[in-house]
Amino acid sequence: RRMEHTTACLPIVYGSVAFYLGKKADEYNTHQWTLHLRGPNNEDLSPVISKVVFHLHPSFAQPTRELTEPPYEVTERGWGEFEAQVRIVWKDSSERPILISHGIKLYPPGTAPNAAPTDTETAVVAESYDEVVFTDPSETFYTQLLRVANLP
């Protein structure tokens, strides 16, 4: 049964964290990065998420990675920035999956195009906060959303 005239909001954070590999770097692996999806305060999103599918650049082995339980993250090594896609599939199959684009950043803002990285300690963080709004959700899904989002 759907709850008419009702909305529920699920806060999410998605993004990437990258580190320069320094002496461990080679021509094709200059950085290690992690692409992730989570709750803003690391809430467990698994009661409402069926799976998260990460679509990486086609040059990666297995560019499509499907995760059915947290942590919803993928760690890789590479040399270039690219646009990744994150698809969230909900436990309630009547709710449409959503697709998010995220640019994986390896270099801090303002870095000159030909500048060689030197800092192996400081992470380059590119994160976004968003809120997924569900309109007229099913009663069961609504209850799970409230639990996950810590709403009254």
Q: Please name each of the domains of the chain with its CATH number.
A: 13-132 (2.60.40.1970)
Neighbours of 24 (CB within 10 A): 11
- Per-residue confidence (pLDDT) for residue 62, from 0 to 100: 96
pTM for this structure? Answer: 0.91
Residues of the chain with pLDDT under 70: 151-152
* Contact call for residues 16 and 126 (beta carbons, < 8 A): yes
* Contact call for residues 106 and 31 (beta carbons, < 8 A): yes
- Per-residue confidence (pLDDT) for residue 115, from 0 to 100: 76
- Per-residue confidence (pLDDT) for residue 135, from 0 to 100: 96
Amino acid at 112: A
φ, ψ for residue 91, nearest 5 deg:
-65, -35
Among residues of the chain, what percentage have pLDDT more than 70? 99
- Per-residue confidence (pLDDT) for residue 128, from 0 to 100: 98
Structure tokens at 95: 């709710």
In whole angstroms, what is the distance from residue 25 CA to residue 32 CA? 9
Dump pLDDT digits (tens) for 54-85: 999 999 999 999 999 999 999 999 999 999 99
* Contact call for residues 149 and 34 (beta carbons, < 8 A): no
